[in-house]
Amino acid sequence: MKTLRVKAPAKINLHLEVLGLREDGFHELAMVMQAISLFDELNMKLRNDGKISLHSSNKSLSCMDDNLIVKAAKLLKDKAKNNDLGVDIYLDKKIPIGAGLAGGSSDAAATLLGLNSLWELGFSKLELEKFASLIGSDVPFCISGGTQLCFGRGEKLEPLKEPINIFSLLLVKDPLISVSTPWAYSKCKEIKGSEYLKTEEDFEKKRQNLRDASWLNFSITSSPPPLINDLQNVVIPYYPQVDKALSLLSSFNGSLSVSMSGSGASCFALFKDLDELSKICTKYDSRIESEGFQSWCCSFINHGPEIFYD
Ligand code: C5P
């Protein structure tokens, strides 16, 4: 029976600015998302009886209709208009859950790409990005990954004109906490809602500021991103571990800048290169663990999910 394997990368936010509220109740955002070398793996086996089944290495994860992988598979089957299409999917979960790393969104994007191939549907990446926006705000970015400007609720993608500087990162997360994205945005509205921008003209000015940011233009500068995340100060009072993670990361030699990713609770520090970071990881491994954090050493990557036919 036909099988394939898809590696689905996590993402971090190099920039997350909450601009205002949209008519659909979502927030208008200006973001730079960056794919990183931390991967979930999905193994897919074709079925011809129309059934879609999901099993996972992480037993705390629902494998029912609320899982974004199942949502993505059912959506693609609807778009293909063929009731016989089915699949057995096994998810090897490595990206931490509730971390702001788009693990679920990347799994959904990997499902769309993997099944497009397994079911021989021939949808273009642009069509898959449109389907992706029906699943979640971060899913369209995850179709092509790499580094992208993301506007709207996250689904309006603008590829960069130039590749940006490649950094390595140390990612940490307290395994005992996870932050709900809807909660973080509703708290943001409560705390900062009165300062939200109101007009499309104001939104566009902010988008243009980001497009023009010098750190995004590799040919002008090799300085690290300033790392702005408007949700960070919203989350910290309720999750002091985030503040503790940021202080810990800032204390390491060679740490260039630190931030929370997405709506948390993972945090990261950027480093110039992987060699420098490897030394830090070896030196501080037990300290990071004794402070209650899991950690990962990774790098920026310039792609999205990868399909293997082995
Ligand atoms: O689109 P997604 O399902 O990932 O969004 C989860 C929740 O996060 C939304 O229901 C909404 O409450 C909040 N959200 C938002 N504005 C965005 C993205 C997400 O308010 N741009």
The tens digit of pLDDT for each residue in 22-77 reads: 999 999 999 999 999 999 999 999 999 999 999 999 999 999 999 999 999 999 99
Query: 27: Cβ below 6 Å to ligand 1?
Result: yes
pLDDT of residue 223: 78
**DSSP class of 300:** B
End-to-end CA distance of the chain: 12
Indicate whether residue 153 lines ligand 1 (CB < 6 A).
Answer: yes
pLDDT at residue 274, rounded to an integer: 86
The partner residues of 91 in beta bridges, in order of sequence, read 42, 56
Beta carbons within 10 angstroms of residue 293's beta carbon = 20
Residue ID of nearest Cα to ligand 1 atom 8: 182
The more confidently predicted of residues 38 and 273 is 38
Q: To the nearest whole percent, how much of the chain has pLDDT over 90?
A: 89
pTM score, whole prediction: 0.97
Cβ atoms of 55 and 91 within 8 Å: the answer is yes
Higher pLDDT, 259 or 223: 259
Which of 286-295's residues contact partners 24+ apart within 8 Å by CB, and which partners?
288/172, 288/248, 291/244, 291/248, 292/174, 292/176, 292/241, 293/172, 293/173, 293/174, 293/175, 293/245, 293/248, 294/96, 294/172, 294/173, 294/174, 294/175, 295/170, 295/171, 295/172
Angle at 91 between CA 85 and CA 92, to 5 degrees: 155
Cα angle, residue 57 at apex, residues 54 and 141 outer, rounded to 5°: 70
Express each pLDDT in 81-130 by its tens digit. Answer: 999 999 999 999 999 999 999 999 999 999 999 999 999 999 999 999 99
Q: Is the CB of 137 under 6 A from ligand 1?
A: yes
User: How far is residue 145's CA from residue 29's CA, in Å, rounded to a whole number?
Assistant: 18
